[in-house]
């Protein structure tokens, strides 16, 4: 009887530890962390919980995480569903800090559970209207990058604010995610189309002040719905594929594709309702602004999207600087005399790779200054470089096919260009971190080693076996 009771007690303890491990993994997945980061933090929790790595088996999928703890005679299996999938960089940072603090301060299981519950209950830093307004101006910053003037910047921002707030409202009411995206894109495009009358209709032009007139009235239609473009899932998809997490990466890719299709359907439906021709095919996106204007637009976009990602307010100036570095370096390498700009004239792909690589290197150093994961600094900084318009142009070209020679070529050109730009952005974010990974891993390993020695007073041989 005593033996059976002891076995039951041990099983309950193992199940509780596995549940704590699952809570961390699922929360990170729901916060849109990439799989490599999830694995790294779960291994740290594993060390804190005293689970033997040779007996622990973890399966990570986009919707389910499963753990098995077994030896030759006993097996324990637990799994948990991941279904929220919001973007919460603050949550990722808090969990990263907790995994270190749990070892450093020798938390009990009850204390650790309380800390996890407190993280889950923390409210977001920004209200819905603050997020919608900031995201709207972020789309206006995108519009500047496409070559619009500053009056059009405000029209694009207004349209995006209204569309994004509608999307958030419908989501809060429990509407389907893709329906929310479609409706948000539809309303944003309608509002942007209405704003074009302020500069195109002669009877209205005479009634409004000159500062409200724009020479680029169609550009807001290209940028007003770019708050929907899933930049973080796109980068996570490529990061997962490069990291060997193929299945999770493919599921992310399919979700991204459905989101973009929903966005294009909403935009396309609005254009049909308004009776607008395929203006996106021949509308120039080459900017001719000064680098000061590029920097301002990049800072606005980076900070605006950071509110969607729930970046702490104290980091917004840092993210703004990161966006400026990424976009201005991209533009300097990309643009040049052939487009009437100052730069190296190496093209969008090379420019995007240069910009994302440079900011990733900067973030690799800065993450130690601000005590936040690399992903939480680098991804918001490169989001202003994501080629949302190229993806929109590609899908819109396929939707609008009418049998004209060259339509498929145009669509495939934009699709391939957008795909390559996204790929090099993700590579630029990931590669510098991979190059310094061995150095960072060694430092973390030594730090973990010392904390475990202080906490458990284990001998060196057992510690080496645990953390390898």
Q: Nearest to residue 357, comparing CAs of 437, 440, 424, 441?
A: 424
* Residues 60 and 141 both lie in one domain: no
* Residues 191 and 107 both lie in one domain: no
Angle between helices 460-467 and 437-456 (to 10 degrees): 140
In angstroms, the CA 313 to CA 210 distance is 36
* Residues 184 and 164 both lie in one domain: yes
In angstroms, the CA 28 to CA 8 distance is 30
* Residues 184 and 234 both lie in one domain: yes
Q: Which domain holds residue 112?
A: 1-123
Q: What angle do CA 422, 428, 430 make, to 5 degrees?
A: 100
Element containing residue 80 per DSSP (H, E): strand 75-81
Token representation of residue 358: 């440079």
- Using DSSP, state whether 402 is helix, strand or coil: coil
Distances (CA, A) of 84 to 27, 28, 64, 88, 141: 9, 11, 11, 11, 29
* Residue 342 resides in a domain: yes
* Residues 101 and 201 both lie in one domain: no
* Residue 452 resides in a domain: no
**Domain boundary residue, one of 123, 150, 182:** 123
In angstroms, the CA 387 to CA 393 distance is 10
* Residues 106 and 143 both lie in one domain: no
Q: 91: Cβ–Cβ under 8 A, 6 or more apart, which residues?
A: 27, 28, 31, 119, 122, 310
**Domain boundary residue, one of 80, 104, 123:** 123
Number of structural domains (the chain) is 2
* Residue 460 resides in a domain: no
* Residue 458 resides in a domain: no
* Residue 461 resides in a domain: no
**Domain boundary residue, one of 91, 123, 155:** 123
Which single residue is written with the structure tokens 């493919």? 250
* Residues 83 and 159 both lie in one domain: no
Using an 8 Å Cβ cutoff, are 87 and 31 in contact?
Answer: yes
* Residue 375 resides in a domain: yes
pLDDT tens digits in sequence order for the chain, 468 residues long: 344 433 334 788 888 999 999 999 999 999 988 898 899 899 889 888 888 888 888 999 999 999 988 877 788 889 999 888 888 999 999 998 998 888 888 888 899 999 999 999 999 999 999 999 999 999 998 888 888 888 889 999 999 999 999 999 999 888 899 999 999 999 998 998 888 888 766 777 667 777 778 888 888 888 888 888 787 888 888 888 877 889 998 999 899 888 888 888 888 788 888 777 655 556 666 777 788 888 999 999 999 999 999 999 889 999 999 999 999 999 899 888 877 788 888 888 898 899 998 998 888 888 888 888 888 888 889 888 877 667 667 766 766 666 665 667 777 877 888 888 888 888 888 776 666 555 555 555 556 556 555 555 544 444 444 444
pLDDT value of position 405: 59
* Residues 331 and 414 both lie in one domain: yes
pLDDT value of position 442: 55
Using an 8 Å Cβ cutoff, are 21 and 42 in contact?
Answer: yes
* Residue 451 resides in a domain: no
């Amino acid at each position: 009887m005593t033996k059976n009771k002891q076995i039951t007690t041990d099983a309950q303890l193992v199940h509780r530890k596995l549940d704590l491990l699952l809570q961390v993994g699922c929360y990170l997945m729901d916060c849109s962390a990439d799989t490599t980061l999830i694995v790294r933090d779960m291994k740290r929790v594993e060390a804190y919980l005293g689970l033997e790595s040779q007996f622990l088996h973890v399966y990570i999928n986009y919707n389910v995480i499963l753990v098995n703890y077994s030896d030759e005679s006993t097996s324990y299996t637990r799994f948990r569903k991941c279904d929220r999938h919001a973007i919460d960089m603050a949550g990722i940072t808090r969990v990263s800090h907790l995994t270190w603090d749990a070892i450093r301060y020798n938390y009990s299981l009850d204390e650790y559970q309380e800390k996890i519950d407190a993280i889950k209950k923390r409210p977001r830093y920004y209200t819905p209207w603050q997020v919608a307004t900031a995201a709207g101006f972020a789309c206006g910053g995108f519009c500047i990058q496409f070559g619009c003037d500053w009056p059009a910047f405000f029209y694009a921002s207004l349209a995006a604010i209204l569309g994004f707030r509608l999307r958030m409202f419908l989501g809060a009411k429990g509407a389907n995610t893709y329906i929310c995206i479609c409706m948000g894109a539809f309303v944003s495009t309608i509002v942007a189309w209405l704003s074009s009358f302020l500069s195109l209709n002669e009877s209205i032009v005479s009634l409004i002040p000159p500062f409200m007139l724009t020479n680029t009235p169609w550009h807001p239609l290209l940028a007003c719905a770019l708050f929907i473009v899933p930049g973080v899932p796109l980068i996570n998809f490529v990061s997962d594929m490069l990291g060997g997490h193929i299945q999770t990466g493919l599921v992310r890719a399919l979700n991204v594709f459905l989101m973009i299709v929903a966005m294009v359907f909403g935009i396309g439906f609005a254009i049909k309702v308004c009776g607008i021709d395929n203006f996106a095919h021949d509308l120039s996106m080459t900017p001719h602004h000064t680098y000061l204007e590029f920097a301002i637009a990049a800072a606005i976009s980076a900070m605006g999207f950071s509110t969607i990602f729930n970046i702490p307010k104290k980091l917004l100036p840092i993210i703004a600087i990161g966006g400026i570095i990424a976009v201005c370096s991209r533009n300097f390498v990309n643009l040049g005399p052939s487009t009437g700009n100052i730069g190296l004239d190496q093209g969008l792909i090379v420019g995007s790779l240069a910009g994302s690589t440079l900011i990733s290197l900067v973030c690799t150093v800065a993450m130690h200054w601000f005590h936040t994961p690399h992903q939480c600094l680098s991804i918001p900084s490169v989001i202003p470089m994501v080629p949302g318009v190229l993806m929109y142009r590609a899908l819109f070209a396929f939707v609008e096919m009418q049998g004209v020679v060259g339509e498929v070529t145009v669509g495939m050109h934009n699709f391939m260009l957008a795909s390559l730009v996204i790929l090099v952005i993700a590579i630029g974010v990931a590669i510098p971190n991979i190059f310094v990974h061995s150095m960072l891993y060694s430092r973390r390993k030594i730090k973990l080693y010392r904390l475990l020695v202080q906490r458990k007073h284990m001998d060196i041989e057992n510690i080496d076996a645990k953390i390898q």
